[in-house]
Amino acid sequence: MNRGYIRLWRKSLDAGWIRNHKLWAFWTYCLLKASYKEYDAIVGLQRVHLLPGQFIFGRRKAAEETGLSEREIRTIVELLKKSGNLTIKTTNKFSIITIINWPTYQADVEGNDQLNDQQPTSKRPHTRIKELKNKETPGEILSEIPDRLKRYQDQGAINQAFLAIQSTRTTNRIADTVKLSILKTWERYPVAQVMAGIKTYIEKGYAGQGKGEKYLLGIIRNQNGNGAAEGPQGPTMKATGSLLDKFYSEQGVTVL
């Protein structure tokens, strides 16, 4: 298992989780078990691809490692699912638990991480530079991100979007200052438009092509309702002069 450390957010005190010792024990167990980077795990004779914030889960093994009963673990998992703290995907052989908002609470916060958070080309968006001018402290940033995330009901999709963006980085990390800047930029558009753009970005696998948040923003910006309109013969939009023109043309949008 990878060694190192995790962060415990002080908001857990306000939520009263520490008073529920069994819940707290299992939640911190999940944080400790979750992977901090993308890798392939071997389960039996099967290779399982895990993203940051995910881990292979089994109730029997968890009971052995936490001292809780399998019934207690089942109850706590259901509680954490309903509260939006984790998701669980079950197969006939194993389960994968995903910590919701893992990048938000566990990503590095650094005053200047240009080396850690730098894309390999000179076309990297300058959102981070703008945010640094605000001189927000790491604590203020950490508290502001969850408040802005409340705008979206589908937290799983938002988390997936950040994981995808994160995968485009050479270090597989996003600084919280950059994440906050992305969320602020998304707020210029209706929630439905943001979610539609994220869906397209994920389904088309653009992150796997190294296309990060700037490309995603272009998709969001050009969703129907803001940049693409329904014409007599279907949706139309003005040419952007970028690769998005080809993308929307392939989707049946008339590029003018």
User: Token pair for residue 94?
Assistant: 């194993």
Mean predicted confidence (pLDDT) in 206-220: 88
pLDDT digits (tens, 9 = 90+) for 1-37: 456 778 887 777 777 788 889 999 999 999 999 988 8
User: Token pair for residue 49?
Assistant: 């691809």
Instruction: Give residue 129's pLDDT.
Output: 39
Quote the percentage of the chain above a pLDDT of 70. 71
- Better pLDDT: 97 or 243: 97
Mean predicted confidence (pLDDT) in 204-222: 87
pLDDT of residue 100 exceeding 90, the answer is no
**Residue 14 near residue 114 (C-beta atoms within 8 A):** no
| DSSP 8-state assignment for residue 76 | H
Looking at the DSSP bridge assignments, the partners of residue 55 are 97
pLDDT band at 248 (very low <50, low <70, confident <90, very high): low
pLDDT band at 130 (very low <50, low <70, confident <90, very high): very low
pLDDT digits (tens, 9 = 90+) for 47-79: 888 888 899 999 999 999 999 999 999 999 999
Average pLDDT, the chain: 76
Half-sphere exposure of 256 (CA within 13 A, CB side): 11
Instruction: Give residue 127's pLDDT.
Output: 44
Instruction: Give residue 229's pLDDT.
Output: 39
Radius of gyration of the chain (CA): 20
* 210-249 CB burial, b ≥16 within 10 A, e <16: ebbbbbbbbbbbbbeeebbeeeeeeebbeeeeeebbebbe
In the chain, the domains with their CATH numbers are 11-100 (1.10.10.10), 108-221 (no CATH)
